[in-house]
Amino acid sequence: AQTVTQSQPEMSVQEAETVTLSCTYDTSESDYYLFWYKQPPSRQMILVIRQEAYKQQNATENRFSVNFQKAAKSFSLKISDSQLGDAAMYFCAYRPDSGYSTLTFGKGTMLLVSP
Amino acid sequence: ETGVTQSPTHLIKTRGQQVTLRCSSQSGHNTVSWYQQALGQGPQFIFQYYREEENGRGNFPPRFSGLQFPNYSSELNVNALELDDSALYLCASSLRQLPYEQYFGPGTRLTVT
């Protein structure tokens, strides 16, 4: 069974600074997708960034980028130029590229952003 | 484009009762997945429906059941509620094609007393 581990229950960052959230996963699959989702107090899960395992290039979406290390099964999220609106719970998630498209989530990291 | 909607927003039930939660898929999406998110935890997969049939199930007992309708909307039913069923229930819709992107609704907060 696949597992996703987020070892940082909470992280803090100041506005305009950079923060990195960690995620490791365990799988025997060779093809899969990894995601970072953001869940603000409104509860709606919002997709931040997606990485396909077959791609060596790390995904980037504006201020958000990932460091994908397939051999180490590591998938960290870097948020640059942090903004107050980035404060939320962040979940790392895994999905195999086979079968039905269900997601396995980590327990989440609460990101606090201070002015 | 209409996003995923869920109803009700909040619900309080008594142990032993039954509950039905509803989800409307994003326009054009034919696959619906349900997740349970306990307080302080990540979402856990309950089951998925595609073309009105259950297409996969997580580690949840049979008292968790669902339906998908021809318009792709969906229901989650939970019988014989237990205190541990208190959680946020999330619905996500997607197309059955790469990259199988899941779009989440705002969830229903269920409290069992």
Q: Which residue of chain B has the CA closest to A47?
A: B103
Count CB atoms within 10 A of the CB of residue B1: 6
- pLDDT, tens digit (0-9, with 9 covering 90-100), for A21-34: 999 999 998 889 99
Sign (positive/negative) of CA torsion A23, A27, A29, A30? positive
For every residue of A48-115, DSSP letters joined together read: EEEEETT--SPPEETTEEEEEETTTTEEEEEE-S--GGG-EEEEEEEEESSSS---EE---EEEEEE-
Decide if A107 touches B, using CB distance below 8 A. yes
Query: Which single residue is written with the structure tokens 């109803």?
Result: B7
Q: How many residues does chain A have?
A: 115
- Given a cut of 50, the residues of chain A with pLDDT beneath it are none
Report pLDDT digits (tens) over A1-26: 789 999 999 999 999 999 999 999 99
Asked if A108 reaches chain B (Cβ–Cβ under 8 Å), the answer is yes
Q: How far is A115 from chain B (nearest CA, A)?
A: 25
Instruction: Report the pLDDT value the prediction gives residue A29, as an integer from 0 to 100.
Output: 87
- The reply to whether A55 touches chain B by the CB within 8 Å rule is no
B99·A43 Cβ contact <8 A:
no
Record: contact A100-B104, CB cut-off 8 A: no
